[in-house]
Chains A and B, each alone.
Chain A
């Protein structure tokens, strides 16, 4: 039953992804500059430009180019980065683990802190803890991530010196052998606890910066969900039948309250991707975000488009996952669709 549900949701996502392919294809063709000219360089003769145009298939009809493009995209061939002169897919594969580390750290922070705080705020409705948490939520969503990053760096790295300023690992510590690509996992697997400790220290500020917006959002929606649920008749019944208070709140009330939170977590991912770009750039985090910013600044179109496409796919996958989790939490939804 779950399998069919997932299949159905995937099928719905296909048209959007196809549209994304079309969009990215058109975008690169809309660039004012002639790609053949750009690739040939300034000193190229018209003959050389024509040669390059033919070599890259740029003189074929548009729809034919699109098919070639799609074929390549499916095989994860995104061409070469104008900056690094390596295959874009290779660059991305190398940088992906760092971004995943950061994203999961931020998400973990947001959820593991956000949900309990949201419940806490709801239980202390209209008292001081509730007001304080609501203010935090308002700030968290309104604040500019890049500014928070700079402020945190200012305070914790520059003034207090408690945490490192940038990067993934201190220069003095040699990185562990690369097994998975993730610094933390590799350190753990090779027993390099010095690198692990240092890596974790470097992860703190970026993860907090990235997770702040999500934390604010999750606190807000969990609180609302819990408040709504507490009004329900079944909560009265569960109290009347002597359910233990802690279990009542954390098991029976919470599961009903998280529908809105789960939606938020799905949307959160989009925010983490977008925010990740800026946060990685500021903290010099060697992930896809800083790769993207670099591509922007150097006008590396191939990279930009590859990243856009990849993000679209990830986003679609996250949305499907969100729906599945919704269905698992509330079985009524699975029966409906």
Chain B
């Protein structure tokens, strides 16, 4: 069974005033059908760039230098803009953005915006009436209040949680095989966050979708994901089943992340040091300057990804 999404050795750089910044350097991940993969990393680690690369909406200053993004057997990186727009975005890959208020066009009715997605991507032969019916059904399933009239309202007339449900409906409207969620609960309050996470999990099981869940919060990963992939400084450092990685983390960065999590530590803990600049990456392991277990060999060459005892793939010499 081929995975729905397979990212291999992805390297993406940006052109900036101060030179070439390598934001993603050898990122690999695999998402199996019907599963939820959590992509975890701090702000600036390249999560947004990863999403944009998959969807093909990188800014002009960016360049994909190496790697492949294989979706349902096809490498998206070789698709043309038109192919991506017509055949992939909105139809086979759905997207749930981070901030529901900022992501909705303020001067158009919600219905217009959702119908626009279906306009080009819904199955041929279906008409606007059918689209509206489908959307209302989805809204009802997602528990958006007054689904019959919701489409006639404007984004500012909904609450944060309701807006996020609208966007989830938008993502599911054309029955995609893959849904990418970019920190979908960060902009919401804690209670609503929990509701949305539960909802997402239900939807994954009910509609048999595969979900790529990007977040900075390991707690959320524990709640919703089946597998997890930890990214640091543009590289995958640990990847495996959620149970394995969270209970027996192997990479020092993963361990540090877990240790800092508010639910795990009683006092404020941080990881000393800073993420290296994308302009000047250190040779060797990128976490070495901050690692508690650092050894001289770590700074000399980039460690390979090895299989740890937990079953996870870990980029650290300690995995052996």
Contacts and interface: CB of A to CB of B under 8 A. Distances in A.
Determine direct contact between A and B, CB below 8 Å.
Answer: yes
Interface of A: 232-234, 236-245, 247, 252, 255-256, 329-332, 335
B207 to A, nearest CB: 17
B90 interface: yes
A330 B105 CA distance: 11
A243 B117 contact: yes
B120 interface: yes
Nearest to B51: A240
A245 B85 contact: yes
Contacts of A238: 105, 113, 116
Contacts of A244: 85, 120
Given A234-B103, A331-B154, A241 B95 contact: yes
A287 B140 CA distance: 61
A125 to B, nearest CB: 10
A233 B103 contact: yes
A240 B89 contact: yes
Contacts of B154: 331-332
Nearest to B170: A241
A279 B171 CA distance: 56
A29 B57 CA distance: 68
A255 B95 contact: no
Nearest to B106: A332
Contacts of B170: 241
Contacts of B86: 242
A336 to B, nearest CB: 10
A237 B107 contact: no
A256 B107 contact: yes
Contacts of A233: 97, 99, 102-103
A232 B155 CA distance: 15
Contact of B108 (A242, A252, A335): A252
Contacts of A245: 85
A243 B116 contact: yes
A189 B291 CA distance: 86
5 contacts: A237-B103, A240-B57, A241-B171, A243-B90, A252-B105
A107 to B, nearest CB: 23
Given A239-B57, A240-B57, A241-B90, A330 B120 contact: no
B181 to A, nearest CB: 12
B211 to A, nearest CB: 16
Interface string B87-123: 0111100110101001111111000010011001100
Contacts of B318: none
Nearest to A125: B60
A232 B120 contact: no
A242 B122 CA distance: 12
Contacts of A236: 57, 97, 103
A240 B84 CA distance: 10
A242 B106 contact: no
A74 B173 CA distance: 60
B57 A247 contact: no
Contacts of A242: 84-86, 88-91, 117, 120-121
A239 B88 CA distance: 12
B29 interface: no
Nearest to A258: B107
B182 to A, nearest CB: 9
6 interchain residue pairs of minimum CB distance: A242-B89, A242-B90, A233-B102, A237-B103, A241-B90, A240-B95
A234 B104 contact: yes
Contacts of A256: 105-107
B102 A234 contact: yes
A241 B117 contact: yes
Contacts of A329: 107
A285 B107 CA distance: 41
